[in-house]
Amino acid sequence: MKATRKIAQGIAMIILLAMMTSAVYAQNQGRPGHPGKINQEFKAPAPPVPPAPLEPPSFDNPGAPALPQLDLPGLTEDQKDKIFKSDMEHMKMMTPLHNQISEKKARLQTLLTTMPFDVKAADQIAEELGKIGTSILKETIKHDQELRTLLTPQQQVLFDARPKPFLRRER
């Protein structure tokens, strides 16, 4: 008897809460930008304009902007070309390393979900991930310094003031 009374009280509280929620929701409909009242027009927001694709500088397209990470003032065409070449070489070198990291992480994920757990194999993959991460950091530092040598002293000051993404802690 008491149990059915408590169930009935619980249901009544849920209904009361639902009614209060709908009343609050109905009150918000009258605010500007919230259609719902009679004779109020709905104005759809303007669709977002997609950004124009950035075209990397090429030797066929000399008018293209410099790579986004180096929009330093006063870059000459020669500097832009050298920076672009350096970036392309850096990307060629880094892509296989990033692919190796993805493969190792996938292998580690597989090991973590198998029974029985192989501690030695997981430790070995962790060591390999550390070595690849170290080589990526070394190559990134080398590339950063290579770019820095292409700049004038004034541009170097601005370049050095920028945050270095490779120094952020990965999570």
Please state the rounded mean pLDDT for residues 151-155: 87
Long-range contacts of 146-152 (CB under 8 A, 24+ apart): 146/86, 147/70, 147/83, 147/86, 150/79, 150/82, 150/83, 150/86, 151/72, 151/79, 152/74
Predicted confidence (pLDDT) per residue in 7-24, tens digit: 888 888 788 777 777 766
What pLDDT is recorded for position 37?
Answer: 54
3-state secondary structure of 79: helix
Please state the rounded mean pLDDT for residues 36-55: 61
Comparing 15-19, 41-45, 118-122, the range with the smallest average pLDDT is 41-45
Residue type, 11: I
Furthest C-alpha separation in the chain: 89
What pLDDT is recorded for position 105?
Answer: 93
3-state secondary structure of 97: helix
Residue 135 has pLDDT above 90, yes or no: yes
Distance from chain centroid for Cα 153: 32
Predicted confidence (pLDDT) per residue in 54-102, tens digit: 454 444 444 444 444 567 778 888 888 898 999 999 999 999 999 999 9
Instruction: Say whether pTM exceeds 0.75.
Output: no
Nearest to 157 by CA among 68, 86, 73, 67: 73
Please state the rounded mean pLDDT for residues 21-31: 64
Cα distances from 30 to residues 26, 42, 43, 140, in angstroms, run 8, 12, 14, 56
Nearest to 75 by CA among 84, 86, 66: 66
d(CA 27, CA 20): 11
